[in-house]
Amino acid sequence: MINKKHFLYTALLMIVAVVMLMSACTSATTQTSVTTSTQTTTQTQTTTKTTTTTQPIIQLTFGSTNPSTHTYSIADMAWIAKMEADSNGIVQITPYWDGTLLSKKESTDELAKGVADIGFCQPGYSTKPFPIHLGTLGFYYGIPDYEARRAIYDQLTKDFPEVEAEFENIKVLCTSVGATYQLITNKPIRTIDDFKGMRIKGTGVFLEVLQALGAEGVSLPMTEVYTQLDKGLIDGALAPYETFVSLHFGEVAKYCTVLDMTSAVFPTRGMNMNVWNGLPANIKQIFENNIAYWGEQEDKLNIEAAQKGYDQGLADGVQYIELSAADLAKYNQIVESIMLVKAGNLDAAGFAGTAMYEEVRQLAEQYSK
C-alpha cells in the first residue's frame, strides 16, 4: 500500500515537472521571437533613415590668383574646411592657387563663364564695368574699423539694390574690406604743407588725393617700393602697416604718418551662377550661412597682420606721427571734395552717386560715436 502511494506521488511530480519544462520552452521561444522581430524592425528603420538622408557628393573647383600663403588664401582654406565639415563631407572643394585656373585680369569674367565653380574675383580687372563699386571705393575714407565698414556696405546694398545687382552673373560668397593705408616715408610728414613736392607711391583714387595735397603721386608695384625708397627715387608710399613685416619697409623708411586712408567693401569671391542654380536647397543654405564666416576670417587675419606690422615698425625704429586736429580736418576736406566729384560723376551716369555718398558718410559718423 505504501509502495503504491509512493509510486503515485512520484508520477505526479514527474508530470508537474514536464508541464513546467514545456511552459518554460514556450516562453523562451516567444521571447526570442519578439526580440528577433524587434531587432529586425529597428535595423530596418535605421537603414531607411540612412538611405533618406544620404546625398551624392558635390565636387567643386575653387580658383584663386593668389598664392596659397596669401592672407586671402589662408581665409579661403579655413572656409573650405568649414564648408566640408558643415555639409558632412557632401561638399568637397579642390583649390587651385597662383592663377592656375583663373587669370588675374579676367577672373571675374572667367568665373561667370564657368572656368571655375567658385573663385577669387577682381572687379577692377574685369572687362565688364562695375561703375558703382569702383566709383564708390573712396567714399569710406577715415573708417579703419572693419566691422563698421561691413555694416555700412550691408546697409548701402539694402537701400540701393543696384549696388549688388552689378554682380548678377555670379553668386557673391564673400566680400573684402579694403586695406587701411598709412603714409610711410623717409622724411617726416608732420603737417599738410609737408606733402608739397614729395614723390609718393599711391594707387587708384589715392593718387588724386596725393595730387590735391601738393605731392606727386607715383604708380608702381608695391614690390618695387623698397628699392625705390632705398635709392631715393621716391620719398614715400601709401601702404598698410603689415608691409613693415612682409616687405621690410622699416629698413629704408623711418617715418609713418597715420592717415587711415581706407576704401570700401567689395565682393571678392563668388560662384558661377549656373553652378549655384543647380545646387540642392539645403546645400545652398549652408553656403549662405558661411558668407559672414568667410569675411570674418579674412578680417581677423588682416587685423593681426596690421598689429604685427605696427610692432615691427617700432622694432625697426620707425617714428609714428599723428597730424594735428586742424591738419586732419584740412586733409578730410580735401578728400571730401574729391569724393563729391566722384559722386557727381555717378549721378551723371544715371546712378544715385550723391545719395550713396551722403548715406556712407552719415553712417560713418554714426559708427564713429
pLDDT by residue (tens digit) across 179-198?
999 999 999 999 999 999 99
The answer to whether position 143 is within a domain reads no
Tell me, yes or no, whether 80 and 198 share the same domain: no
Say how far apart CA 174 and CA 249 lie, in whole Å. 30
Kindly tell me if the per-residue pLDDT of 1 is higher than 60: no
Tell me, yes or no, whether 297 and 349 share the same domain: no
Farthest-apart Cα atoms in the chain, separation: 142
- Split into its structural domains, the chain has a count of 2
The answer to whether position 37 is within a domain reads no
Pairing of strands 216-218, 199-201: parallel
Tell me, yes or no, whether 296 and 344 share the same domain: no
Kindly tell me if the per-residue pLDDT of 13 is higher than 60: no
The answer to whether position 108 is within a domain reads yes
118 class by beta-carbon count within 10 Å (0-12 exposed, 13-18 middle, 19+ buried)? buried
Confidence of residue 25 (pLDDT cuts 50, 70, 90): very low
Tell me, yes or no, whether 210 and 250 share the same domain: yes
Tell me, yes or no, whether 203 and 292 share the same domain: no
Tell me, yes or no, whether 188 and 160 share the same domain: no
- Residue for cell digits 599711391? 202
The answer to whether position 8 is within a domain reads no
Cα 131 to the center of its chain, rounded Å: 22
Kindly tell me if the per-residue pLDDT of 43 is higher than 80: no
Tell me, yes or no, whether 186 and 225 share the same domain: yes
Kindly tell me if the per-residue pLDDT of 209 is higher than 80: yes
Domain boundary among 274, 303, 332: 303
Kindly tell me if the per-residue pLDDT of 16 is higher than 70: no
Tell me, yes or no, whether 198 and 111 share the same domain: no
- Residue for cell digits 557727381? 344
Cα 365 to the center of its chain, rounded Å: 25
Identity of residue 171: K
Confidence of residue 8 (pLDDT cuts 50, 70, 90): very low
Q: What's the whole-number mean pLDDT along residues 217-246?
A: 97
pLDDT in tens, 69-112: 999 999 999 999 999 999 999 999 999 999 999 998 899 999 99
Confidence of residue 124 (pLDDT cuts 50, 70, 90): confident
Say how far apart CA 214 and CA 333 lie, in whole Å. 14
Kindly tell me if the per-residue pLDDT of 249 is higher than 50: yes
Identity of residue 246: S
Domain boundary among 303, 327, 358: 303
Sheet arrangement for strand 58-63: 91-96, 58-63, 118-120, 265-272, 170-177
Tell me, yes or no, whether 236 and 323 share the same domain: yes
* CATH number of the CATH domain containing 222: 3.40.190.170
281 class by beta-carbon count within 10 Å (0-12 exposed, 13-18 middle, 19+ buried)? exposed
The answer to whether position 53 is within a domain reads no
The answer to whether position 10 is within a domain reads no
Tell me, yes or no, whether 167 and 284 share the same domain: yes
Tell me, yes or no, whether 236 and 344 share the same domain: yes
Say how far apart CA 14 and CA 21 lie, in whole Å. 11
Kindly tell me if the per-residue pLDDT of 11 is higher than 70: no
The helix/strand/coil state of 184 is strand
This model's pTM is above 0.85: no
The answer to whether position 347 is within a domain reads yes
The helix/strand/coil state of 2 is helix
Please report, rounded to a whole number, the percentage of residues in the chain having pLDDT higher than 70: 86
Confidence of residue 12 (pLDDT cuts 50, 70, 90): very low
Tell me, yes or no, whether 214 and 338 share the same domain: yes
**Domain encompassing residue 163:** 58-128+156-177+264-303
The answer to whether position 196 is within a domain reads yes
pLDDT at 31: 38
Kindly tell me if the per-residue pLDDT of 232 is higher than 90: yes
| Lowest-confidence region among 20-34, 152-166, 244-258, 282-296 | 20-34
Higher pLDDT, 368 or 253: 253
The helix/strand/coil state of 255 is strand
Q: Tell me, what DSSP letter sits at residue 57?
A: -
Kindly tell me if the per-residue pLDDT of 59 is higher than 60: yes
Kindly tell me if the per-residue pLDDT of 201 is higher than 90: yes
